């Protein structure tokens, strides 16, 4: 049977200290030792199962990390205080002064700003390439390239990476392939298609209630341990640690992810299909008209669908803004960045989450002014939502 990430989460069994059905929360920053020798050995990383200090690791963070590793099918995982905390620590662990990165050109705005504006201070340069073309990715590689980085489904243009093709290139050149899977949890399991490291912003679909920020790095034991090394680990030394209480609450939300993702996908597919029939410029990987549709299908866990993210180009920024305000007034969702909430969220990426990208480059990659990015919610009656959205559009001449 095919790899099913939700089964892997379901099959984990953790009890609390008193037989509780949830694991106990570790509400401590530091841990006592019966012997000074054990404390020294733990510091040196030689005692598995001992806890030292919660920036290094804590039981609650390990529970959440192991559940996410099970979901992605990697050996283990480290949770972090945000998605950016995962992305920056992985990058700085893999790269040093003089290193080079090949990155997708449509990536999350914060990731783009980090690579474009921040890393050059440390003499780390990035080539931003069209990730849908394995030939262009391979051509951008130099003898200094340490990391190929992209999103499985990209923000905000929903381009689809061919993970198998990219992993073959990465292996041929002995480079680490890092995939941000924030837009497609469960739907795609990148490590099953050759990714070395899988990152998520837990802030989005995985937590799903827009009440916190968090991140995770899923990978091999060696790599995750190296991130936590007290002397040289970017995760440990840069300090992007998740709080234990938050790890416990995200773990509880993770358990319903498979039900939520199915509904997000079903609703997004319904709206995208309708809008396409109406002749609108809609982008959704579940539509056959999407240039990455076949690639996504090839690497999809079909039960979970093509995800909850969709874009609609309504022609101009003025129209996009008017439509978003109107939809919010009619309670169809919120004009807000982020994704994965029970309500639909919408924003104009050119002026919000991708505003770090210069206008000229936005044009080049097809990020137009009239583009609205939707994170489709868990609406019970999506046909009713569609009718209400159409009424908003009609009233505004969109
Ligand atoms: C939100 C997001 C991030 C950053 O995550 P934070 O939790 O906000 O730090 C990274 N990648 C993608 C694709 C995102 O959507």
Tell whether ligand 1 has an atom less than 6 A from the beta carbon of residue 182: yes
Q: Mean pLDDT of successive 10-residue segments in the chain (398 residues)? A: 86 93 94 88 75 91 97 98 98 98 95 97 97 97 98 96 98 98 98 98 98 98 95 95 97 98 98 98 97 97 97 95 98 97 94 74 82 98 98 96
Q: How far apart are CA 39 and CA 52, in angstroms?
A: 7
Q: What is the pLDDT of residue 123?
A: 98
Q: What is the pLDDT of residue 333?
A: 98
DSSP assignment letter at 102:
E
Tell whether ligand 1 has an atom less than 6 A from the beta carbon of residue 82: yes
Of 397, 1, 394, nearest to 192 by C-alpha is: 1
201 alpha carbon – ligand 1 mean position (Å): 5
Of 329, 318, 348, nearest to 392 by C-alpha is: 329
Question: Ligand 1 atom 11: the closest Cα is on which residue?
Answer: 108
Q: What is the pLDDT of residue 94?
A: 98
Q: How far apart are CA 254 and CA 73, in angstroms?
A: 15
Of 28, 85, 118, 114, nearest to 240 by C-alpha is: 85
Q: What is the pLDDT of residue 204?
A: 98
Please, are residues 205 and 188 in contact by the beta-carbon 8 Å criterion? Answer: no
Residue-wise pLDDT tens digits, 174-200 = 999 999 999 999 999 999 999 999 999
Instruction: Spell out the domains of the chain, with CATH numbers in brackets.
Output: 5-254 (3.40.640.10), 258-396 (3.90.1150.10)
Of 393, 204, 163, 146, nearest to 292 by C-alpha is: 163
Q: What is the pLDDT of residue 364?
A: 77
- Looking at beta carbons, which pairs linking 350-354 to residues 24 or more positions away fall under 8 Å? 350/317, 351/317, 353/108, 353/109, 353/155, 353/156, 354/109, 354/112, 354/155, 354/156
Please, are residues 114 and 91 in contact by the beta-carbon 8 Å criterion? Answer: yes
Q: How far apart are CA 25 and CA 251, in angstroms?
A: 11
Of 163, 161, 185, nearest to 106 by C-alpha is: 161
Residue-wise pLDDT tens digits, 201-254 = 999 999 999 999 999 999 999 999 999 998 999 999 999 999 999 999 999 999
The token pair at 189 is 């399991």
Site to substitute for ligand 1 among 182, 336, 373, most atoms within 8 A of C-beta: 182
Q: What is the pLDDT of residue 37?
A: 87
Site to substitute for ligand 1 among 103, 106, 108, 161, most atoms within 8 A of C-beta: 108
**Bridge partner residues of 217 (DSSP):** 78, 199
Please compute, for residue 134, the number of CA atoms within 13 A of its CA located in the half-sphere on the CB side.
Answer: 13
Question: Ligand 1 atom 1: the closest Cα is on which residue?
Answer: 201
Site to substitute for ligand 1 among 203, 208, 307, 353, most atoms within 8 A of C-beta: 203
Please, are residues 83 and 203 in contact by the beta-carbon 8 Å criterion? Answer: yes
Question: Ligand 1 atom 2: the closest Cα is on which residue?
Answer: 201
3 alpha carbon – ligand 1 mean position (Å): 26
Please, are residues 79 and 215 in contact by the beta-carbon 8 Å criterion? Answer: yes
Q: What is the pLDDT of residue 46?
A: 65
Question: Ligand 1 atom 12: the closest Cα is on which residue?
Answer: 108
The secondary structure of the chain in percent helix, strand, coil, rounded to multiples of 5, reads 40, 15, 45
């Amino acid at each position: 049977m095919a790899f099913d990430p939700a089964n892997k989460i379901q099959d984990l069994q953790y009890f609390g200290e008193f037989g509780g059905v949830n694991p106990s929360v570790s509400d401590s920053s530091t841990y006592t030792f019966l012997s000074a020798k054990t404390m020294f050995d733990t510091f040196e990383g030689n005692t598995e199962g001992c806890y030292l200090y919660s920036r290094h690791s804590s039981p609650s963070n390990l529970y959440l990390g192991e559940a996410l590793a099970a979901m992605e099918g990697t050996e283990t995982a480290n949770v972090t205080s945000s998605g950016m905390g995962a992305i920056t620590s992985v990058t700085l662990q893999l790269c040093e002064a003089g290193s080079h990165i090949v990155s997708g050109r449509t990536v999350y705005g914060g990731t783009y700003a980090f690579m474009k504006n921040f890393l050059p201070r440390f003499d780390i340069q990035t080539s931003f390439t069209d990730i849908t073309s394995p030939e262009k990715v391979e051509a951008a590689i130099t003898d200094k390239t340490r990391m190929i980085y992209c999103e499985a489904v990209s923000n905000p243009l929903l381009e689809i990476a061919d993970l198998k093709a990219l992993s073959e290139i990465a292996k041929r050149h002995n480079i680490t392939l890092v995939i941000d899977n924030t837009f497609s949890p469960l739907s795609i399991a990148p490590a099953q298609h050759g990714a070395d490291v899988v990152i998520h912003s837990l802030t989005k679909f995985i937590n799903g209630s827009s009440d916190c920020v968090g991140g995770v790095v899923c990978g091999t034991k060696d790599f995750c341990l190296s991130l936590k090394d007290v002397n040289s680990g970017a995760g440990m030394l840069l300090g992007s640690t998740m709080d234990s209480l938050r790890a416990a609450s995200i773990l509880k939300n993770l358990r319903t992810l498979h039900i939520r993702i199915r509904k997000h996908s079903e609703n997004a597919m319904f709206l995208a299909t309708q809008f396409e029939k109406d002749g609108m410029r809609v982008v959704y990987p579940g539509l056959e008209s999407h240039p990455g549709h076949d690639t996504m299908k090839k690497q999809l866990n079909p039960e979970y669908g093509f995800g909850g993210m969709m874009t609609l180009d309504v022609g101009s920024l003025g129209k996009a803004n008017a439509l978003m305000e109107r939809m919010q007034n009619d309670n169809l969702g919120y004009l807000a960045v982020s994704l994965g909430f029970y309500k639909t969220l919408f924003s104009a990426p050119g002026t919000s989450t991708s505003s770090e990208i210069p206008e000229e480059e936005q044009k080049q990659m097809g990020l137009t002014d009239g583009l609205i990015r939707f994170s489709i919610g868990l609406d019970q009656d999506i046909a009713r939502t569609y009718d209400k959205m159409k009424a908003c559009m009609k009233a505004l001449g969109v």
